[in-house]
Amino acid sequence: MAAGADHAGAGGVGRRLISPVLAGLLLVGWLTGCARSPAWPTPTPTHLRGAGTALLAPLWPQVATGFSAAHPGYSLRYEALPSGLALNELAAGRHDFAFSTDPTAAAAYPDLHFTPVAEDALVLIVHPSVDLTHLTLAQARDLFGGFIQEWGELGAGGGPVRLVGRATGSGARATFIQRVMGDVPLALTTRLEPDDAAVLAYVRDHPGAVGYVSRRALAAVPDGQVRVLRLEDRLPDDPGYALRRTIDVVVPARAAASGALLLRDWLLSPAGQAVLQGGSRP
């Protein structure tokens, strides 16, 4: 009996020794599981969709990175579209924000809020074979209205005038028509291109060509490929230059306290302005 009691006592001691070990292992496993599984799930980022002028496309990675650093709960997606199409998408609720260079758009979209965030200007460019350095507004109107068809009429050498501009819906086209053409329609012979890069390529490759592009688009163009013309004897940085314009960020009127307003405020901040001004000059 004593032996049996001793055996039982030893078993009880064994059980008493094993139980703390198992408890410790269970505790370690539980703590490890807690370390791997956070108590609070990581929130899903809010994606803001936008579209608009292709002028911002080269800067967009910096815009998106800077904004997300300031507002970690948001991410940005951007699609380069003509200003008119981008504003239609925003008005229809398919985007959260837009960027526009169309100076006439605010009157056409009273339910959208337009805020200038950067400056730009259109410039007139010609093929280097055209012996011309400047135009007046009246001469530019006559050229693109089709009333001047030979460069000799302006004392700029010989050869036919080749016109190239932007397609309907472009903010650049809207600016050019408002500031240069007025009520005079564009000549039917004007070649229409979808973006600045296509206009630049056409002017570069076709003797006698004349067109208009954003000043920002000239940043990547080597010297000598096209010639920038003075307009009314002024260049884009000169006071009173006729083709200055703004780049507007556009948000819906209903966007109170939304991520789109956070983006607008960041673009107006010193950090946002530093990014936007990085692409302001050729």
Residue 213 binned pLDDT confidence (cut-offs 50, 70, 90): very high
Give residue 8's pLDDT.
42
Give residue 75's pLDDT.
92
Asked if 83 and 129 count as a contact pair (C-beta separation under 8 A), the reply is: no
Compute the average pLDDT of residues 155-183.
Answer: 95
Domains within the chain, CATH numbers bracketed: 46-118+246-277 (3.40.190.10), 121-231 (3.40.190.10)
Most confident of 17-26, 57-66, 216-225: 57-66
Q: Residue 273, exposed/middle/buried by CB under 10 A (0-12, 13-18, 19+)?
A: middle
Give residue 280's pLDDT.
47
Q: What distance, in Å, lies between the first and last C-alpha atoms of the chain?
A: 103
What is the reported pTM? 0.80
Q: Cβ contacts of residue 275 below 8 Å, gap of 6+?
A: 59, 62, 63, 66
Of 124, 100, 97, which Cα lies nearest the Cα of 217? 124
Helix, strand, or coil here: 142?
helix
Q: What is the mean pLDDT of the chain?
A: 86
Give residue 272's pLDDT.
97
DSSP string of 24-77, one letter each residue: HHHHHHHHHHHHHS-SSPPPPPEEEEEEE-GGGGGGHHHHHHHHHHHSTTEEEE
Asked if 215 and 282 count as a contact pair (C-beta separation under 8 A), the reply is: yes
H or E segment and range at residue 261: helix 259-268
Strand bridging mode 209-214 / 112-126: antiparallel
- 100 has which bridge partners? 248
